[in-house]
Structure 1
Amino acid sequence: MRDSQPKTIFLKDYQVPEFLIDHSDLHFTLAAEETTVRSRLSMRRNAESTVQDASLVLHGQDMRLQSVSVDGLALAPEAYKVDEETLTLFTVPDKFTLECVTEIKPQQNTSLEGLYRSSKMYCTQCEAEGFRKITYYLDRPDVMSLFTTTIVADKTSYPVLLSNGNNVASGENSDGSHWVTWEDPFKKPAYLFALVAGDLAFIEDSFTTCSGKDVTLRIFVEAKDLDKCDHAMQSLKRSMLWDEETFGREYDLSIFNIVAVDDFNMGAMENKSLNIFNTSCVLAKPETTTDATFQRVEAIVAHEYFHNWSGNRVTCRDWFQLSLKEGFTVYRDAEFSSEMGSRTVKRVEDVNFLRTVQFAEDGGPMAHPIRPESFMEISNFYTVTVYEKGAEIVRMIAHLLGDALFRKGSDLYFDRHDGQAVTCEDFVKAMEDASGKDLSQFRCWYSQAGTPQLHVTGEYSAEHSRYTLTVKQYYKAAQQHNQPVHIPLAMALLGEAGALRLQLQGAAPNPDTADNTELVLDVTEAEQQFVFENIPEQPVPSLLRGFSAPVQLQFAYSRDELMFLVSNDSDGFCRWDACQQLGVLALKDMIAAHQAGEDMQLDHRLITAYEHLLTDESLDKSMVALMLSLPSEAYMASIMEKADVQAIHVARMTARVEIAEQLQELLWDSYNANVLTVAYQADEQQIAARSLKNTALHYLMLLENEQVLNLCLTQYQQAQNMTDSMAALAALVNSSFEQQKQNALADFYQRWQAEALVVNQWLSVQAGCYLAGTLDRVQALMAHQAFDIKNPNKVRSVIGAFTANAVNFHQTDGSGYQFLADQIIILNTLNPQIAARLLGPLTKWKQYKNDSAALMRDALQRIMGEEKLSKDVYEVVSKSLQA
């Protein structure tokens, strides 16, 4: 256990920097044993600081200081002090040039922060605090500087040398090395610095901006991956055009580079003009990439490009403001993806993820507002709360203001704060100033943790043709001190003939809705009533349409009312949600029966609802596939007071088998109707067809007969794309056809062993198998030549996939928990950031029944007992145990 607790950093203690850096001139010499970094920083005291006689304290870790000088004069040893995290110069002038020479060893940097080696190339990851592992610096986002970077390396081994901005000079040396100088004309904080050196090939294209400027676009990869770059390039061009048309944002340099890196902690990084991507988020072609990954690549390329304005040109003042750039940019990339495909499907997928993962985070020990009040390690706050809930907060502002005023607000925000490091408050203020709307109460969303509970009841008076909605908002026990927030509640009332015209008592007709059949209610108090006049029949309310706010809605729908919504609601989200609620009720019945030792019976209404979905040819096939999917085991666990994982799994599997048995004829029809014979395209129509076909296949494989086995084997053997191949392989892996399963796994690996990303899918499908014995299989996979615990993609594919495999991770003897603890202890010393992120399942120990909870807590205590815990792991474990 650590001798002392890591320091907690508080938002309330923020002070402006005591020094500023006007220009950063960096010189890297990349050599086999070490890299030498020479930094020349033009510095001055910050006139806005209240401390004008402070010593200069620079951040720095894991490096050796060779020399330090001020204005050309080398400093004596007594003039400065070096410790594990800082370099302190006791006395400096008000304006000066600081020069430091340091040595670092990128090849030993397994944390993948700062400058490190990935395979045979050098690359960087500096967000959030990685730059301090490169050279001594003021590594904080409110210190923005102009950067000039020179890189020197062996020309044969590293013919490509990249950094931010424009290539302004280059040359060769007599020793076989060469050099390139890059100059970035825009001020940026150190976290946006990037460097890449390697033997890379690239594809090139161009884009002409709205003002007529030509931009060169390049994607750099290993030569073997050149055939997997076209989709990312086209996604980039679509993103650039969309950002011009939707947000008026034009790219500001003459070149935009993307580099694919195999060893990367994150998905991608928006470094100014030099985006560095995890290979899994940029490489794509039909033979090796699933439909879901094609969509993910497009979304992440867009996300990182959109950061050029929402994150780079306007950045965050401090890391507490992280959602300022991430929440806003996730909202922007979600809107982009919605326009590129099905808006309803995209919305349902996002909400499903939010409700399953973020709501659980809101109820756990790491719960925090989208603008946290404190942290020990900022890397732990790159969370679904900051990103996805942060995006929902922006979405609500857009909903409250409307399209035109929201665009006006975003324009004002970008124009007002271009080149600045600002706060969430600055963003909201721009929206207020542009729209004239008061968002004072809305600001509570930024400072309060937890998910608001929205309890709604409805009462109909036939005598007065009046329907009254009573809405109560509150938080669960842990956040009872929270204030009511401003919740936009989109709703409609449905009658037998469709949506009813709405007249809210005391209000004029809604000018934003031509037929007045949908309203957005402003829920601002702990309890409110909304009375609707001239309602001719008992309605069924359609609530939270489009998921208009990130809240947990409670309305006591009868199962027949849910059936009605599934068949009649015009809002795609509400139809899906009604289907999910029907599934939740059915599964809860079965779980209770299993726990009582009784026979489990599936509610026939769910079968009827699914039958209607499979026979309604007017529906979006992707939506049908989503609606045919029962609520996940993770979601069921998150909504139960004390989750019984084994009972949830047995109930859900029993329900799936019965659905397959009752609807097998329709499932066969659906499968056959969606077999495509045309060339593969990752477009909306084909993705929808494959999605429904493979959903049907997975249900049919539960029947475990020879006819279905032959269907699955035929699909696997004849698949012309990775979507169909992986769907068939997953169905086989989760079946009892042991010989066919092993044959397919061996064949798949033999065929794709040279493609690392495909092998990762092979690893993941095995780690995710819900059959008994999976933990043994996972341990065997970790000894396989395809696994490398130093590679985050491999770790996520095996360890991460296993922890998401609820029934096997939550084994009754606690072996799954101890396995995870073992891996976290190892990764704590190799890559603390990845170790901390893997802790998520154990942090929710209070959510599970007593026996499981005790075993999970034991695993956490064993991790806590380690002598040298990183800040990353210590923070998560300590908060989990204190919960």
Structure 2
Amino acid sequence: MKDAQPRTVYLKDYRVPDYLVDSTRLRFELQPRSTLVRSELHIRRNPAAGTDLPPLVLDGVELELLSVSIDGELVPASRYQELPEGLSIPVDKPEFVLEIHNRINPEENTSLEGLYLSNGMYCTQCEAEGFRKITFYPDRPDVMSTFTTTIVAPKQYPVLLSNGNEIERGTTEDGRQFVTWEDPFAKPSYLFALVAGDLQHVEDTFTTASGRAVKLQIFTEAKNIGKCDHAMRSLKKSMRWDEEVYGREYDLDIFMVVAVDHFNMGAMENKGLNIFNSACVLASPKTATDASYQRIEAIVAHEYFHNWSGNRVTCRDWFQLSLKEGFTVFRDAEFSADMNSRAVKRIEDVSMLRTTQFAEDAGPMSHPVRPDSYMEISNFYTLTVYEKGAEVVRMIHTLLGADGFRKGSDLYFERHDGQAVTCEDFVKAMEDANGVDFSQFRRWYSQAGTPVLDVSDEFDAASGTYSLTIRQSCPATPGQQEKLPFHIPFALGLLGRDGEALPLDTAGNTEQVLEITESEQTFRFHGFAQKPLPSLLRGFSAPVKVRYEYSSEDLLFLMRCDSDEFNRWDAGQRLAFMALEKLQEDFRQQRPLELPPALVNAYRSVLQNRELDPALVAEILALPSAQTLAEHAETIDAEAIIAAREFARRELALALKDDLLACYQRFHDDREYSPSAADIAARSLKNTCLSYLCVTEETEQLALAEAQFAAAGNMTDSAVALAALVNHAPEQVAQSALESFYQRWQQDTQVVELWLGLQSSSAQRGTLENVRGLMQHPAFELKNPNKVRAVIGGFANRNFNQFHRADGSGFDFLAEQVIALDKLNPQIAARLVTPITRWKKYTADLGDKMRAALQSVMDSGKLSRDLYEVVSKSLA
């Protein structure tokens, strides 16, 4: 484990590497507790760094050094210096071959960084700084090298994989097997990958636009071999889409994917050998939900798209992480929008952004898309870098248009192929390709926080002029008290009283992207007989908060008439927010709670509208989550949020029972499962109706859930019905359903994770006592990140009611688990602690208890750098 040294790395201190590595040859002799690693590095002085010969400093953590040689001559131990996290070797020539032998222990590597064992399979995770746990190396992204890798292993590991193309295989004199792989494309060490195990695979081919045949392989354990087809189809669709939309062809002869049960992230884009969390690649109709199918499709696409936006062109340093991740998240979001419902995809992404990324922007770990500093780089694999970074790329796309953005991306790939570059290089390519100036726009990369747009309007009936005034501001964030104006694309439409879109210019365009560049700007539109109703920030054209005084009548009108589907949904959310905020205040003042009839009528009209996409209807019917309400509040009153939301759901369910039942029956059928967009949309609306109906806890409604659970032919219907029973049915019924589900699926790892998460996140059954019980269940494993996320993460992040119990026991439980996890897997511990880091925003009673739990983590002893950074910044 890395020591908790409060050493801060700053972007301003970046220096080019002193030495470059032209080629890297690796040899692994695999043994669970004693793997030998031999590296041969062809090194030369970096001409950009100077002509003197400083010591060669290599990174290395938890390595047993055996020997060091330069140009074939052994270097005595007295000549080099082992550092706390590396090795310093004196150098007397500008070019040389360095050979290092070292030993590592994959079996004891619970951090899941570097080379480790997962269910008897060797695999690696080297991003961001995991390669230094394999061998001594300049482990930084701007040192790019070709790699040749030989893996030697006993025959119990018949599959031996690494980056690139296979060039040799055979048997050693002592009967072990070996395979050698060669990657002809220079890459940084974080993209290195190795897998060895007893695996099976499915295989297919893809013919590129230029006619090359590429072999595609997905590897997994034998028991899961029947769950790879969807991932393979997703991969082929991704490859074709990237050719058609970006002109990017795949460049190697083979592309491999491996499914791994123990993995800190979703997947990793290692060149030619992507390693995936099993949950993000394995699916069958009976074992995976619609959400899993769509997630797998998106993640497969994301990792494949990295072949160009991340691998062929990579980031110069880790401050530039959004260069590859923000761009690639935007690319995979557009791919998913093309494959499914564009409006629903946008709604899902914005919902997550508003709930969790906006909270990150307003919290103690707030940072720009390109951070200025960090203590531990693993802590900056954040929603700000990924999701907000993608929104920044999306804004460039909005400002330039699809054709202009394609010109910019073409120039970017052409100009920087094979290089490690910066966010500035990406923006510069967009500018140069389109003849624009994005100087002000660059502030999105350097300024933290969520901008707020205050919008007001006026109408001059005499001249028929409508004026829209927009004022922008951005709250102070740690280290940034004052913010300069952002360059914000603001998509706008205007509606007449008949619901028709009004022309905004002489060309008759009914939508316009306004460019907000000043603290205050006024835009005028002419030729109106009456005051129009504005449709603001269409499609969520920028990651900002908009404040405009819509009446409930205005919002109802937008829900019915706005041609922008995102804004129809957003109008419904705003209407729900208004109702829920009043309910919260009434609860605090001990006044009787009453749901506004306008909200009921709005939901009824949506339910009865058969022209709308069913998936969009399902999204509109979903009340804002407790987490979203918390982010929206100035001060988080958990008790009031819970009371208001539970009351609203029950009242809606009772008032709309007949409409919900009719809609449920309309979409309830026993057709064969298909993950098509249309079928997913139908199931989404059907199951939204079922979830509402069961809130009433009436016998006839719960009987629908019991019948669906018993007859479900796919995991989506089964899981939704089970959740309804767990949350609303009598104890005996719920327990019986849980037991039968587990007995049926106990051998399927991904389904068991769903089963665990469903219980831990249940407001009804996910009590602290039951969550502790789940941790004692044979299916739970503290060393498995997926199980930890399902149980502990499910309780802390998705079980708002039970986690926020007034006695603070939920916070103490989380602190206790974080302390234990930090000794096993610092990355997971640092990410898991987030729910108690925003204690300052809560009411004093809960906030003080959160802070005490956080302090107990700090006082528990020596923390990893990962956890120390998050906790220390949160307590400051």
- Smaller-chain TM-score range? over 0.9
> Does the C-alpha gap of structure 1 residues 746 and 92 become closer, same or farther in structure 2, counting only changes over 3 Å?
farther
Report SS of the residue matched to 2:441: helix
Q: Deviations over 1:732-788 (max 9, x none)?
A: 111141100000000011000000100000000000111276111100000000000
Cα displacement (A) at 1:4: 7.2
- Match in the other structure for 1:644: 637
Contact 2:350 2:540 in 1 (8 A): yes
Alignment of 1:458-469 (within 5 A): 458-469=457-468
Contact 1:638 1:847 in 2 (8 A): no
1:443 matched to 2:445? The reply is no
1:845 matched to 2:839? The reply is yes
Q: Deviations over 1:591-639 (max 9, x none)?
A: 0011111111111110010000010000000010010011110011111
Cα displacement (A) at 1:53: 2.4
Q: Deviations over 1:267-317 (max 9, x none)?
A: 000000000000000000100000000000000000000000000000000
- Match in the other structure for 1:41: 41
- Match in the other structure for 1:583: 576
Cα displacement (A) at 1:175: 2.7
In structure 2, distance between residues paired with 1:473 and 1:92: 58
1:531 matched to 2:524? The reply is yes
1:484 matched to 2:485? The reply is yes
Cα displacement (A) at 1:476: 1.8
> Of the candidates 719, 741, 763, which is equivalent to residue 734 of structure 2?
741
- Match in the other structure for 1:727: 720
Gaps of 5+ in 2: none
Cα displacement (A) at 1:662: 0.4
Cα displacement (A) at 1:497: 2.5
- Match in the other structure for 2:756: 763
Contact 2:4 2:863 in 1 (8 A): no
Report SS of the residue matched to 1:122: strand
- Match in the other structure for 1:872: 866
Give the letter for the 2:286 counterpart: E
- Match in the other structure for 1:541: 534
Give the letter for the 2:834 counterpart: G
In structure 2, distance between residues paired with 1:346 and 1:198: 37
Give the letter for the 1:791 counterpart: N
Dislocated runs of 4+, deviation >6 Å? none
In structure 1, distance between residues paired with 2:778 and 2:461: 71
Give the letter for the 2:727 counterpart: N
Cα displacement (A) at 1:480: 4.6
Aligned-pair identity (%): 58
- Match in the other structure for 2:281: 282
Cα displacement (A) at 1:564: 0.5
> Of the candidates 800, 804, 819, which is equivalent to residue 806 of structure 1?
800
Report SS of the residue matched to 2:836: helix
> Does the C-alpha gap of structure 1 residues 550 and 32 become closer, same or farther in structure 2, counting only changes over 3 Å?
closer
> Of the candidates 661, 669, 672, which is equivalent to residue 665 of structure 2?
672
Contact 2:459 2:531 in 1 (8 A): yes
Alignment of 1:254-653 (within 5 A): 254-478=253-477, 479-503=480-504, 509=506, 515-653=508-646
TM-score, L = length of structure 2 = 0.99
In structure 2, distance between residues paired with 1:383 and 1:676: 41
Contact 2:837 2:871 in 1 (8 A): yes
Give the letter for the 2:67 counterpart: S
Cα displacement (A) at 1:646: 1.4
In structure 1, distance between residues paired with 2:529 and 2:859: 66
In structure 2, distance between residues paired with 1:475 and 1:252: 44
Give the letter for the 2:875 counterpart: L
> Does the C-alpha gap of structure 1 residues 778 and 51 become closer, same or farther in structure 2, counting only changes over 3 Å?
farther
Cα displacement (A) at 1:807: 1.3
- Match in the other structure for 2:118: 118
Contact 2:759 2:766 in 1 (8 A): no
Give the letter for the 2:318 counterpart: W
In structure 1, distance between residues paired with 2:296 and 2:92: 48
Cα displacement (A) at 1:708: 1.1
Contact 2:759 2:765 in 1 (8 A): no
Give the letter for the 1:75 counterpart: V
Give the letter for the 1:723 counterpart: T
Q: Deviations over 1:562-614 (max 9, x none)?
A: 11001110101100000000000000010001111111111111001000001
Report SS of the residue matched to 2:539: coil
Cα displacement (A) at 1:538: 1.7
- Match in the other structure for 1:834: 828
> Does the C-alpha gap of structure 1 residues 729 and 197 become closer, same or farther in structure 2, counting only changes over 3 Å?
same
In structure 2, distance between residues paired with 1:809 and 1:4: 28
In structure 1, distance between residues paired with 2:474 and 2:31: 57
- Match in the other structure for 2:94: 94
Alignment of 1:184-223 (within 5 A): 184-223=183-222
- Match in the other structure for 2:83: 83
Report SS of the residue matched to 2:448: coil
Alignment of 1:765-804 (within 5 A): 765-771=758-764, 774-804=767-797
Give the letter for the 1:530 counterpart: F
1:59 matched to 2:59? The reply is yes
Report SS of the residue matched to 1:733: helix
- Match in the other structure for 2:702: 709
In structure 2, distance between residues paired with 1:351 and 1:675: 29
Gaps of 5+ in 1: none
Cα displacement (A) at 1:500: 4.1
Contact 1:474 1:480 in 2 (8 A): no
> Does the C-alpha gap of structure 1 residues 772 and 233 become closer, same or farther in structure 2, counting only changes over 3 Å?
closer
In structure 2, distance between residues paired with 1:33 and 1:338: 46
Cα displacement (A) at 1:94: 1.0
Contact 2:496 2:502 in 1 (8 A): no
Give the letter for the 2:55 counterpart: S
Contact 1:766 1:774 in 2 (8 A): no
In structure 2, distance between residues paired with 1:32 and 1:378: 28
In structure 2, distance between residues paired with 1:437 and 1:74: 57
In structure 2, distance between residues paired with 1:267 and 1:261: 10
In structure 1, distance between residues paired with 2:839 and 2:546: 25
- Match in the other structure for 1:136: 136
Cα displacement (A) at 1:110: 0.1
In structure 2, distance between residues paired with 1:260 and 1:330: 21
- Match in the other structure for 1:237: 236
TM-score, L = length of structure 1 = 0.98
Cα displacement (A) at 1:676: 2.4
Q: Deviations over 1:483-515 (max 9, x none)?
A: 1011110001111223443346xxxx46xxxx4
Contact 2:146 2:186 in 1 (8 A): yes
Give the letter for the 1:858 counterpart: A
